[in-house]
Amino acid sequence: MSAPVLITGVAKRIGFFLAKSLREQGLEVIGTYRSHSRSLAELETLGVQLYHCDFYVSEQLTGLIDALQRNHPALRGIIHNASDWLGEEQSDLVPEQIMERMMRVHAYAPYQLNLALADSLRNCPEGLANIIHITDFSVDKGSKHHIAYAASKAASENLSLSFSRLLAPDVKVNSIAPSLILFNAHDNDGYREHTLGKALLPREPGGAEVLHAVNYLMESAYVTGRTLHLDGGRHLK
């Protein structure tokens, strides 16, 4: 059996799409999830091995790492997709709590996983292993409504730089920085029109766009320490 790819946050949206698509491409896939979802049953049917873990709970992250080290001595890759989106004005938490939660899920958990699973990645029988951090368009521009979120995603992107140096030449480490990928079902027409208008390519690209980027990075033998921007030219508007 080939070494699996670990994807965090597979219960919905991009994480679910990536886990399903990579499994359908023939890769072995491990997924983590924080909350139960009906989509998880579909992933299990496809053969995705699932681990429950709330990254906000240190003991659960430690337990996950122990289980992964014990059960998966070799890994083909890690895709850090798990995310949360707390805004300073929309949350009942105080700013200190918001920053702590954002850093935990976007920086601390990936940092711990990368360090703990480095040997498993080096043991990849398929050759070069991969770490991919899913960051955000806001890393380069900031966000006045999601300050802690943007800062924590910037920390995640910086992890790619440091780990690419630490783990070379056995492991490639890169980031993917999307802006709009998928609308939510509750997004109204006005919001959709306003958001699409921010890009030179005014469209909802869907999960396939992220999958293309993941496949490119995993198949490349000469890209590390880089960020792929999936923003439809939004930086030029």
Per the structure, the complete domain to which residue 30 belongs is given by 5-236
Across all residues in the chain, what is the average pLDDT?
A: 95
Closest CA to 30 of 76, 89, 93, 70: 76
With H, G, I as helix, E, B as strand and everything else as coil, classify residue 33: strand
Residue 83 above 90 pLDDT?
yes
Distance (Å, whole) CA 4 – CA 75 = 5
Residue 195 above 80 pLDDT?
yes
What is the reported pLDDT for 1?
A: 65
Closest CA to 56 of 99, 12, 109, 117: 109
Average pLDDT over residues 34-63: 96
Q: What DSSP character marks residue 170? A: T
Q: For residue 66, how far is the Cα from the chain centroid? A: 21
Average pLDDT over residues 112-131: 96
CATH number of the structural domain spanning residue 65: 3.40.50.720
Convert the pLDDT of each residue in 1-21 to its tens digit: 689 999 999 999 999 999 999
pTM: 0.96
Question: Number of folded domains in the chain?
Answer: 1
With H, G, I as helix, E, B as strand and everything else as coil, classify residue 64: helix
> In this prediction, what percent of the chain has a pLDDT beyond 70?
100
CB–CB of 225/164 below 8 Å? yes
Catalytic position from the list 51, 149, 191, 222 = 149
Convert the pLDDT of each residue in 54-72 to its tens digit: 999 999 999 999 999 999 9
Distance (Å, whole) CA 115 – CA 128 = 17
Helices (H) and strands (E) in the chain, counts: 10, 7
Residue 90 above 80 pLDDT?
no
What is the reported pLDDT for 97?
A: 94
CB–CB of 5/73 below 8 Å? no
Q: Is 111 a catalytic residue?
A: no
